[in-house]
Amino acid sequence: MLTVLAAGLSFGLADPAAAQKSKITVQAVAKAIVVTQLSFFKVDDINFGKIIAGTTAGTVTVAPTGVRTATGGAKLAADPSVRPARFAGKGTNNQGVTIALVAGTSTLTRIGGTEKMTADTFIIGSTPTATLTTVPLAFRISSATGIFTFPVGATLRVGANQVPGKYSGTFTITLVYQ
C-alpha cells in the first residue's frame, strides 16, 4: 500500500498540467528597539498561559524564572507561551535606580465581556528576588555597559467557575535613575 501511494505521489508531481499554481502572500512583523542612555522599556508581557477554572477559587503564579504553578481550583493546561514579563534599560555601570509599581494590583478583563481577575504579588527577578510594591526598591546597575534586563512574575487570582475566554490587563512599573 505504501508503494502504491508513493508511486501515485511521484506521478502527480511529474505531471505539470495537474499541478495548480497559487500565490499566497503573508505579512510578518519586524521590530527593533534602539537603546539610548537612561532608557527603560518592556521587552515581553507576562503570560499566565492556559488555565482550567475549577469550582473553587485558585491562583496561578508565574515566577521570574518562568516556572508556573497553581493552587486551589485553578489547574494548568499545557502552554509553551507561558513567560514572565521582561524589562530592559540602559544607564551606567554602578548607577543607582529605584523600581516600583504604580499600583499594587492589575485587573484583567475578559475580552468581549466584563468578567475580571486580579494579578498581584509582583516579583522582580533580582538576586535575591524581591516583591515589587508601590514603595520603590533600590538597585545598582552592575553591567559594565550599563545595559540591564530583569524579569517580573506575578500571581493571578482565578475565581471559582471563572468564565472561559481571553483576559487582558496592564500593570505599570516606574524606574527612576539616580
| Within a domain: 35 | no
| Within a domain: 106 | yes
Chain-wide mean pLDDT for the chain?
A: 89
Among the ranges given (5-9, 19-23, 51-55), the one the predictor scored with the smallest mean pLDDT? 5-9
Q: Is the pLDDT of residue 10 over 70?
A: no
Q: Is the pLDDT of residue 15 over 80?
A: no
Q: How far apart are CA 87 and CA 40, in angstroms?
A: 7
Q: Is the pLDDT of residue 29 over 70?
A: yes
| Within a domain: 26 | no
Q: What is the pLDDT of residue 9?
A: 31
| Within a domain: 7 | no
| Within a domain: 141 | yes
**Is this structure's pTM higher than 0.85?**
no
Count of beta carbons in the 10 Å neighbourhood of residue 154: 24
Q: What is the pLDDT of residues 59-77, one digit of tens each?
A: 999 999 999 999 999 999 9
Q: What is the pLDDT of residue 19?
A: 58
| Within a domain: 53 | yes
Q: Dig out the grid coordinates for 82 from the structure.
A: 507561558
| Within a domain: 133 | yes
Domain count within the chain: 1
Phi, psi of 174 (to 5 degrees): -110, 130
| Within a domain: 125 | yes
Quote the domain boundaries for residue 62.
45-177
C-alpha closest to that of 178 among 125, 139, 142, 146: 139
